[in-house]
């Protein structure tokens, strides 16, 4: 398991929720007069999943900022209602672009919401250019993620910047107002002082605090979800990181490469010493960073992500713990809400080494570019359980057939966002095309020795 999975696991130590927000509606009720049809085609199940998941970032956004809430609890919508998540808001920027293209909202509506979000982040607390993990939606002030984590979070910032670059590319050739929004998005991400977060070493560090400095001292190392921070650090025209930061930091001087395999499927890169990591590692950095033709001296990143997903899938098919329903349709292990032994809701970075019989729909759904047939089969399976698993913002975050179909009726921004985005990348390549056409991104990839 990657070192920083611990950060995610401590999420539940904080009382973080969401409010009703603009456009709030009751969760989906299968007893309604006009229920969703029983059988859907592949296209229809993708349509349904994207449109409902979009609502997380539109109907249930934080009301003042327009940005993504850390979480949304349909049964407790006012819980911690103004907690904005930086990384999840980056996913939200990309989801809004999908919403425009899919016709869920008009281009003008999307522009206005994006303008609201960018203005909020422009005025929010920044720490050498980086935003904090959580931000107060009313004030723009940092909400501490932990006792020492009350400053910049470089990975959350990188995930937000990935969305900003897509917004820039989407609107840069539009009207005068749209071009101005594109310039604002470009200026925001270019203000991140990536080089500050090296501590003048050949490494990147996750946090800096105005009161605690680099005391957390957590270095970013792959393979995990942190690749995007190195790419953007290399792409930054004003705060560029040296290439040695990537090679010695992310790649551990080449020791990131492994000859290990599972189920006769090569891992290609060491999964931070964890065996096989949770599937969000194959998603977060690659919402914009297209792995299809991405290679460097260490890996073919398409093969890397396909193999990671197939190992996760094969583990669930083999089902060594004999968990209920695991198989070719019911699969997908990643970080999400989870079931504690007493039946309450907790949080866990699920993977083959940390499997307790809890399936996270985002794991299989967001992997659709890598395993389209397997992911669609999972979507149809999840839909077959719509009476308990489908709500107002898509499929709930986690469930356990092993525990009598236990379901947590909750959502997380970082789990909903990859679903709508990766389905769109599978269908049209929208976000991949936008991000990869950016000249600064291309310069960064070339600097690091990538072919793309």
What would you report as the CA-atom Rg of the chain, rounded to the nearest whole angstrom? 20
- Mean pLDDT of the 380-406 span: 98
Residues 132 and 84 sit within 8 Å (Cβ to Cβ) = no
Dmax (CA) for the chain in angstroms is 63
**Residue 368 predicted with pLDDT over 60:** yes
Per-position b or e across 308-326, b if 16+ CB within 10 A of its CB:
bbbbbbbbbeebeeebebb
Picking from 32, 60, 36, the residue whose alpha carbon sits closest to that of residue 48 is 36
Neighbours of 221 (CB within 10 A): 22
Task: Return the pLDDT at 16.
Answer: 38
> Tens digit of pLDDT for each residue in 306-322?
999 999 999 999 999 99
In 3-state terms, what secondary structure has residue 398?
strand
> Tens digit of pLDDT for each residue in 281-305?
999 999 999 999 999 999 999 999 9
- Mean pLDDT of the 319-329 span: 98
Task: Return the pLDDT at 27.
Answer: 46
Per-position b or e across 425-443, b if 16+ CB within 10 A of its CB:
bbbeebbbebbbebebbee
- Mean pLDDT of the 237-245 span: 98
In 3-state terms, what secondary structure has residue 330?
coil
Express as a percent the part of the chain with pLDDT over 90. 90
Task: Return the pLDDT at 247.
Answer: 98
Q: How confident is the model at residue 80 (pLDDT cuts 50, 70, 90)?
A: confident
DSSP 7-43: HHHGGGGS-------TT--PPP-TTSSSPPPS---HH
**Residue 177 predicted with pLDDT over 60:** yes
In 3-state terms, what secondary structure has residue 226?
coil
Q: How confident is the model at residue 79 (pLDDT cuts 50, 70, 90)?
A: confident
Residues 279 and 332 sit within 8 Å (Cβ to Cβ) = yes
Prediction pTM value:
0.92
Task: Return the pLDDT at 21.
Answer: 36
> Could you give the count of Cα atoms lying within 13 Å of 54 in the half-sphere of its Cβ?
21
Query: Which two tokens mark 420?
Result: 């709508």
Residues 265 and 314 sit within 8 Å (Cβ to Cβ) = yes
Query: Which two tokens mark 173?
Result: 């050739």
Query: Which two tokens mark 228?
Result: 């995007």
Please state at what angle helix 107-123 crosses helix 154-171, rounded to 10 degrees: 140
Residues 127 and 151 sit within 8 Å (Cβ to Cβ) = yes
- C-alpha 233/C-alpha 61 separation (Å) is 29
Locate tokens 């957390």: which residue? 216
* Cis peptide bond N-terminal to 223, omega within 30: yes
Task: Return the pLDDT at 272.
Answer: 86
Name the average pLDDT for the chain.
93
């Amino acid at each position: 398991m990657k070192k920083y999975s611990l950060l995610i696991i401590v999420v539940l130590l904080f009382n973080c929720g969401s409010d009703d927000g603009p456009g709030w509606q009751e969760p989906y009720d299968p007893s309604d007069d006009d229920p969703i049809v029983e059988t859907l085609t592949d296209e229809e199940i993708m349509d349904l999943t994207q449109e409902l998941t979009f609502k997380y970032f539109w109907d249930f956004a934080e009301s003042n900022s327009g940005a993504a809430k850390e979480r949304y609890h349909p049964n407790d919508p006012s819980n911690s209602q103004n907690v904005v998540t930086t990384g999840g808001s980056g996913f939200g920027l990309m989801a809004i672009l999908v919403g425009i293209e899919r016709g869920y909202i008009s281009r003008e509506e999307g522009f206005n919401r994006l303008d609201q979000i960018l203005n909020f982040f422009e005025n929010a607390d920044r720490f050498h250019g980086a935003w904090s993990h959580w931000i107060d939606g009313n004030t723009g002030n940092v909400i501490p993620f932990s006792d020492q984590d009350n400053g910049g979070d470089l990975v959350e910032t990188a995930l937000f910047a990935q969305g900003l670059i897509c917004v820039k590319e989407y609107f840069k050739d539009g009207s005068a107002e749209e071009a101005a929004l594109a310039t604002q998005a470009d200026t925001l991400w270019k203000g991140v002082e990536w080089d500050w977060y090296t501590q003048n070493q050949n490494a990147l560090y996750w946090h800096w605090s105005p009161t605690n400095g680099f005391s957390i001292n957590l270095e970013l190392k792959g393979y995990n979800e942190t690749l995007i921070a190195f790419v953007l650090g290399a792409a930054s025209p004003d705060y560029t990181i040296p290439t040695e930061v990537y090679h010695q930091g992310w790649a551990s001087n080449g020791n990131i490469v492994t000859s290990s395999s599972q189920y006769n499927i090569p891992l290609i890169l060491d999964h931070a010493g964890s065996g096989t990591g949770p599937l969000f590692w194959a998603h977060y950095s690659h919402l914009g960073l297209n792995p299809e033709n991405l290679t460097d001296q260490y890996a073919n990143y398409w093969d890397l992500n396909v193999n990671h997903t197939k190992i996760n899938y094969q583990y669930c098919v083999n089902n060594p713990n004999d968990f209920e329903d695991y198989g070719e349709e019911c699969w997908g292990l990643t970080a999400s809400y989870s079931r504690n032994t007493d039946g309450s809701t907790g949080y866990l970075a699920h993977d083959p080494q940390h499997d307790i019989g809890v399936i996270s729909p985002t794991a299989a759904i967001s992997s659709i570019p890598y395993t389209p047939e397997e992911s669609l089969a999972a979507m149809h399976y999840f839909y077959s359980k719509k009476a308990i698993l489908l709500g107002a913002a898509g499929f709930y975050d986690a469930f356990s057939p092993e525990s009598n179909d236990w379901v947590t009726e909750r959502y997380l921004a970082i789990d909903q966002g990859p679903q709508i985005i990766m389905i769109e990348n599978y269908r049209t390549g929208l976000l991949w095309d936008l991000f990869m056409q950016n000249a600064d991104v291309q310069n960064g990839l070339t600097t690091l020795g990538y072919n793309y």
